[in-house]
């Protein structure tokens, strides 16, 4: 199987509220829009907020998390706090060496904001570097 591209698709309970969160609060740039949906650039990935096909029996919550790398996690958290975004966890260094802070979107989807320190193996392309 050849994977040519990928994206994360969210089917929020409130499309407009989630659109405003990702577009205005997080400041993600729009890759494209279509009737009932918006696709955002999210680093090397795409994030699609779809206002269709969410069934009434859709499970609550999201079992995973969105992992968004930022240049400086402290600055990112300060900016989000100024925009009124609730901070779930302030930045801290994890055992695997990354600096991580946590927020969530209007549906409670966890968002991990990650800073990769200059000495971390991810900066040097070492195989098996975790996080």
Max mean pLDDT among 1-5, 20-24, 57-61, 95-99 falls in 20-24
pLDDT at 71 over 60: yes
| pLDDT for 28 | 96
For residues 25 and 52, the model is more confident at 25
Q: Which residues, other chains included, contact 121 with Cβ-Cβ below 8 Å and sequence gap of 6+?
A: 97, 129
pLDDT at 131 over 60: no
Residue 12: count of CB within 10 angstroms of its CB = 20
Closest CA to 113 of 84, 62, 78: 78
| pLDDT for 74 | 96
| pLDDT for 80 | 96
Q: What is the pLDDT of residues 21-49, one digit of tens each?
A: 999 999 999 999 999 899 999 988 888 98
């Amino acid at each position: 199987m050849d994977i040519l591209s990928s994206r994360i698709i969210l089917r929020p309970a409130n499309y407009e509220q989630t659109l405003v969160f990702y577009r205005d609060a997080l400041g993600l740039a729009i890759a494209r829009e279509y009737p009932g949906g918006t696709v955002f650039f999210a680093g090397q990935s795409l994030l699609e907020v779809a206002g269709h096909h969410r069934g009434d029996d859709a499970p609550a919550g999201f079992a995973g998390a969105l992992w968004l790398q930022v240049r400086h996690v402290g600055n990112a958290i300060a900016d989000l706090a100024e925009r009124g975004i609730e901070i779930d966890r302030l930045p801290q260094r994890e055992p695997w060496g990354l600096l991580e802070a946590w927020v969530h979107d209007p549906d409670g989807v966890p968002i991990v904001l990650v800073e990769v320190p200059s000495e971390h193996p991810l900066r040097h392309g070492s195989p098996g570097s975790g996080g």
